[in-house]
Amino acid sequence: MRRTLPIAVVAGVGLFMLVQYFIPLEEFETLYEWALDWTMVIGCFAMLLGLYSLTTMMVTKVKRKAPGWGYSLVALAGLFFMVFVGVVPHYQDSLKYGTLFMDIFEYIYIPIQAAMFSLLAFYIASAAYRAFRARTVLATILLVSAIIIMLRLVPLGPLSGINQWLVNFILTVPNMAAKRAFWLGVGLGATATALKIMLGIERGYMGRD
């Protein structure tokens, strides 16, 4: 029962979602919307689960004074402070421009996020230096294409026109063909995986082999 019921639920709901795609009747539409609503509700409650897991893990780390426990303390303090600031002083107005909550978001969170993203510039430079070697024919093609695309931002004088044409060609012809093939494969793979899940063939997500 413990094994059969989840498979039956997955199969039933999966089949319904597939069938309702082809039936435009209002009743099916209503059921579909009801299913969407429930997905949102489950997602919101799952957040509480995540919050519990995170808090438990960090409190345990602080109690045991495990390596790096100070960072856990900072994370906990940040978490509860933001909840307090968001809920207590202004409640619904806390999301308005100019409140402490939004000020923390704008002056602490946004710069930190932007800084993390900017690390990519350094990492791509080191990854490109390490990986873009003309070891094989395909690697050489990759290397040359990458350089042509990067050069579109560089003023090359009379060569800019040729470079722009090449960039356009690479993006609109081989790139588009490869992406289409990729998406076809991914689409078929996703359909196959969905079918396997609905038929109960794929059960790894349930913790069963």
Question: Which residues within the stretch 9-68 sit at the binding site for other proteins (CB under 8 A)?
Answer: 18, 21-26, 29, 33, 36, 39-40, 42-44, 46-51, 53-54, 57, 60, 67-68
Residue 158 interacting with other proteins (CB under 8 A): no
Largest CA distance in the chain: 73
How many Cβ atoms are within 10 Å of 104's Cβ, its own excluded?
Answer: 16
Q: Please, what is the minimum distance in Å from the beta carbon of residue 37 to other proteins?
A: 9
Q: How far apart are CA 184 and CA 178, in angstroms?
A: 10
CB closer to other proteins out of 8 and 110: 110
- The Cα 44–Cα 37 span in angstroms is 11
Q: Which of 122, 136, 137, 158 binds other proteins (CB under 8 A)?
A: 122
Is residue 151 near other proteins by the rule CB under 8 A? yes
Is residue 164 near other proteins by the rule CB under 8 A?
A: yes
DSSP 95-158: GSTTSHHHHHIIIIIHHHHHHHHHHHHHHHHHHHHHH----SHHHHHHHHHHHHHHGGGS--TT
Q: How far apart are alpha carbons 79 and 50 in whole angstroms?
A: 13
Provide, rounded to whole angstroms, the least separation between the CB of residue 148 and other proteins. 10
Among 13, 15, 106, 162, binds other proteins (CB under 8 A): 106
Among 62, 76, 82, 105, binds other proteins (CB under 8 A): 105
We find the least distance from the C-beta atom of residue 146 to other proteins, in angstroms, to be 8
Q: Which of 96, 100, 141, 159 binds other proteins (CB under 8 A)?
A: 96
DSSP state of 200: T
Distance CA 58, CA 60 (A): 5
